[in-house]
A and B are shown apart, each in its own frame.
Chain A
Amino acid sequence: MATVTVEQVRKSFAGREVLAKLDLVMSEGELVCLLGPSGCGKTTLLRIIAGFISPDAGSVVVAGTNVTHLSPRARRMGMVFQSYSLFPNMTAVENVKFGPRVAGRPKAEQDSRAKELLDLVGLSQHGSKYPHQLSGGQQQRVALARALAVQPQVLLLDEPLSALDAKVRVQLRDEIRRIQRETGVTTVLVTHDQEEALSISDRVAVMNAGRLLQVASPAAIYRDPADGFVARFIGAGAVLPGMAEGQTVRMGALVLPAWAAANHANGAKVELLLRPEVVTFSALDGDVPPGGVAGEVRESVFLGALTRLRMSVAAVPELSIWSDLPSEEAEALKIGRRVVASWDPARPRVVAA
């Protein structure tokens, strides 16, 4: 268990900057998800931490030791790859034993360690199977056990769930979290799936184009995105560009109430974030009430207790606003119905554009 500090790390491939002066500090036993669109540099950062890539500048410090120039072998980090990384010529047990074996641990210790870890990932029955005899989810469990068998200071997972189908994914995700809590190993998990990141991390690190945009708890990221990119990338809802004007955001002729706009200078370019749970749609037959935005229902997605409606704004038809309503209420608002969107002006966030 160890703290991990990534300091001012930079990396370019063939003159193209992939990581730009990146800093990340993780405390002991923490699970941080690197979240970002494909190609933003997540894998590169993870592989720099693991030691497969050396950074052009900056350092990686683990438990107070600078490991930047250590080989991957010497770093004591467990790594789980996207898929098919199990040694095909070894059974599940042999795979798990591999680390202790090359470290020259006594046979008895290898065996007990492998057994313990296969138990931990719930595969004690499948120890003697070869990788091709295991399902994708089982293979990733073995890979996890194998990575943990070296008692790593840090566990690194690069999109370990992306090759699995939806149901297995959720199961294994929860299990990774449980095992991570039980072992208390400091963990970095790379993903491009926001739901995955929000559901299992202590903190989420949102990346784009080689930069860390925000590192915070899932709730904070959701509630308080640092900028428009994070707001768009995490959660649903509308992100509307406009201009701060007192306690409103002005978009052309529309004036949208949001107290948070007062935190920005008048005339500053801002973006207004309207989450579906903040917005209410109601049927509109007469005039538009003050602070409301008129529009027409365009889409309705039943989610169980809630139904998510989308309306297009009458004044600017390319703009959409979403609202989650209790399904009974939503039933009355058929597609094509004229509605007005309204919200408590205290709730929406306003970020600098």
Chain B
Amino acid sequence: MKAPIAWLFIGAFIAVSATFLVAPTVMLAIQAFSDDDGWTFQYLLDLQQYRYWVAFQHSLQLSVASATVGVVAGALIAFAMLKSATPRWLNQAVTSFSAVAANFAGVPLAFAFVSTIGSLGLLTNLLKRAGIDLYGMGFSLFSITGLTVVYSYFQIPLMVIVITPAIQALRPAWREAAENLGASGGEYWRHVGLPVLAPSLLAGWILLFGSAFSAYATAYALTSGNIGLVTTEIANVLSGNVASEPQIGAALSVGMIVVMVAVLGLSTWLTKRASRWVKQV
């Protein structure tokens, strides 16, 4: 080949990825299926223990709920802001705020919500004085519902960012043609608007699901690891906070990867079905 230096760089990138990304993952898989005496399925079976089972349930509930809220609310907001009659300043405000809020996750986000609707938060107190006792009504920031509210704070803006180009690509001529052919607004959305957006909505949902499923910082800062999510359970094992064998952490990690691969596979399949009409490049 003409440029050995080129191969040096390409090779280095592949080698680094293999060593520090692929190899650790493979190690996890091996670790999850082996103990001192050789191969075993014991640790995988251990995941059936109530504690881990619940963690997976929580993680899935939280990810599905926050991704769905994010997709719906994000798409509605993007849609409202992109209407041609919406003032430009409003459009720009939404766009730039979304860029910020989508990256405002983790510890600071958790604290912002604690100071607002934590059990001693400012809003909680204000509402209590107004006669509405949030926590008395069964709400808790430190529950799956509470976490969903907090996660929505970065999920919704993320969706706004992701879906904006797709909504902009909806041609006004499609809507006018539909109207001209006798379709109502609802019929336009059912037959044209939503089907055309479907691949982007699906892609957005999967991105949001992934970001919620692997999120750790926000949940940890809010609950100090007391609400069992898969990520916090793994962290507990790793930092030795619980008396579990390290193999359990590996098995949990493998479980997460399996879930992600399954969800990704499912969404790829759905996307393929929903985008038969898209030009393949």
Contact = CB atoms under 8 A, between A and B. Distances in A.
**A/B contact in complex, CB under 8 angstroms:** yes
Interface of A: 50, 52, 71-73, 76-79, 81-82, 84-91, 98-99, 101-103, 130-132, 143, 146-147, 149-150
Given A81-B176, A101-B191, A102-B181, 4 more contacts: A72-B180, A85-B173, A85-B174, A87-B177
Contacts of B174: 85, 87-88
B178 A98 contact: yes
Given A85-B171, A132-B279, A77 B180 contact: yes
**Nearest 7 pairs between A and B by C-beta?**
A99-B181, A85-B173, A132-B279, A89-B195, A130-B277, A79-B180, A102-B183
A185 to B, nearest CB: 14
A213 B171 CA distance: 33
Contacts of A88: 174, 196, 277-278
A349 to B, nearest CB: 41
Contact of B176 (A78, A79, A99): A79
Interface string B167-196: 000010110111111111001000110011
Nearest to A81: B173
26 contacts: A71-B179, A72-B176, A72-B180, A73-B180, A73-B182, A73-B183, A73-B184, A77-B180, A78-B181, A79-B176, A87-B177, A89-B196, A89-B277, A90-B191, A98-B178, A98-B181, A98-B191, A99-B182, A101-B191, A102-B187, A103-B182, A132-B279, A147-B180, A149-B181, A150-B181, A150-B182
Given A81-B173, A102-B187, A87 B180 contact: no
B182 A87 contact: no
A151 B278 CA distance: 30
A102 B177 CA distance: 12
A79 B172 CA distance: 13
Interface of B: 171, 173-174, 176-184, 187, 191-192, 195-196, 276-279
B277 A98 contact: no
Contacts of B192: 87, 89-90
A72 B179 contact: yes
Nearest to A96: B181
Contacts of A102: 178, 181-184, 187, 191
Most interface-central of B177, B178, B179, B180 (chain A CB within 10 A):
B180
Most interface-central of B176, B183, B277, B279 (chain A CB within 10 A):
B277
Contact of A73 (B179, B195, B276, B277): B179
Nearest to B169: A88
A90 B191 CA distance: 9
A128 to B, nearest CB: 11
B92 to A, nearest CB: 21
Contact of A81 (B177, B183, B195, B279): B177
A22 B98 CA distance: 47
Nearest to B274: A89
Contacts of A99: 181-182
Contact of A78 (B173, B180, B183): B180
A248 B36 CA distance: 116
Nearest to A72: B179
A107 to B, nearest CB: 15
Contacts of B184: 73, 102
B254 to A, nearest CB: 38
Most interface-central of A50, A102, A146, A149 (chain B CB within 10 A):
A102
Contacts of B173: 81-82, 84-85
